[in-house]
Chain A
Amino acid sequence: MRNLAALVFVGGLAFLLLVIFNQFDFAQAPMVVGQGILMDAPDRVGAANIVTAVVLGYRGIDTLGEISILFAASAAAGLVLGRRRTDARRDPPGGFILRSGVALLFPLMLVVGFYIILHGHLTPGGGFQGGVILAAAFFLPLLARPETPVNHAGLSIVEGGAGAVFILTGLAALLQGGEFLQPLLDNGVLGELVSAGTLPLLYLAVGLKVGAELAGLMARLADVEVDEP
């Protein structure tokens, strides 16, 4: 009986999907919003990377929602993972190859991460990708030397400050008579580093916030209490 019900359900779902598929003309854009943005974005927002123009310019409030979700998730994880006993043993430090590799990779990953964040409005990439790379860069030393102290208070300050900068930029647009999170300042010359108004500032805030959150999350996850051997 239950199998029959499941079969009927799956059949109905397949029928629905087929009906929906038949409604679409394939290889034809069903909506004109995308084309409109493609025509409109370079002049209006001034970002050479149109994805960034959409993420921060046209759909800025979505991005605010995304970073709020990330904040809630990392706060909940921090709450669940809690604190370790102060007298618990830690992992032994990594071997020579791991430590040397970390020393070599750490500055490189910092540069790549900040490059991706700061060039988010020009080339592919942006705050989220660069932030993840920054978080990975700051996690590496912890992998090589587990006894390295982690400044969770500092990470929280960076995270909160970056989030506040994002929201304050949005409120500043409101004060100037625009919409919330409307890009301010001059568009500048398309394709230059200082262009696209407040978009680079917003992406820097997103990158720092994502990086600080994820670095804190990974540090908490890695901070296990090792059993006595």
Chain B
Amino acid sequence: MIWVVALIVIMMLVAAVTVLLVRNHIAAVAAASLVSLLLSVLFALLRAPDVAMTEAAVGAGLSSVILALALRRLGLGRVKDA
């Protein structure tokens, strides 16, 4: 159990640092979504299924979609690296 949690936390940290370092905006949004997704797994392991479901639906799904759509509106949503 503790190793699973440690693995998830390390993956979350890696994804969070990736958000800062990666140059592509869409990739940064995807990495931020990954942080939320792993956090929801952590919530599920901590026996908070309600919070886990909200985090997965809102944090990983909806907010990433809204961020990506806003990037596209601003013309920053190119998949090719600038």
Residues of chain A at the chain B interface (Cβ within 8 Å): 49, 51, 116, 124-126, 128-129, 132-133, 135-136, 139, 214, 217-218, 221-222, 224
Contacts and interface: CB of A to CB of B under 8 A. Distances in A.
A124 B50 contact: yes
A217 to B, nearest CB: 8
Contacts of A214: 62
A221 B70 contact: yes
B53 A124 contact: yes
Contact of A125 (B53, B58, B62, B72): B53
A125 B56 CA distance: 11
Contacts of B69: 218, 221-222
A136 B61 contact: yes
Contacts of A136: 57, 61-62, 65
A126 B50 contact: yes
Contact of B50 (A51, A218, A222): A51
Interface residues of B, number: 15
Interface in B37-69: 49-50, 52-54, 57-58, 61-62, 65-66, 69
Judged by DSSP, the binding face of A is helix
Contacts of B54: 128-129
Contact of A124 (B49, B70, B72): B49
Nearest 4 A-B pairs (CB), nearest first? A124-B49, A221-B69, A132-B57, A129-B53
Contacts of A132: 57-58, 61-62
B73 interface: yes
A124 B72 CA distance: 34
B66 to A, nearest CB: 6
B73 A224 contact: yes
A135 B73 contact: no
A139 B57 CA distance: 14
Contacts of B66: 217-218, 221
Nearest to B56: A129
19 contacts: A49-B50, A124-B49, A124-B50, A125-B49, A125-B50, A129-B50, A129-B53, A129-B58, A132-B62, A133-B57, A136-B57, A136-B62, A136-B65, A218-B69, A221-B73, A222-B69, A222-B72, A224-B72, A224-B73
A222 B57 CA distance: 19
Contacts of B52: 124
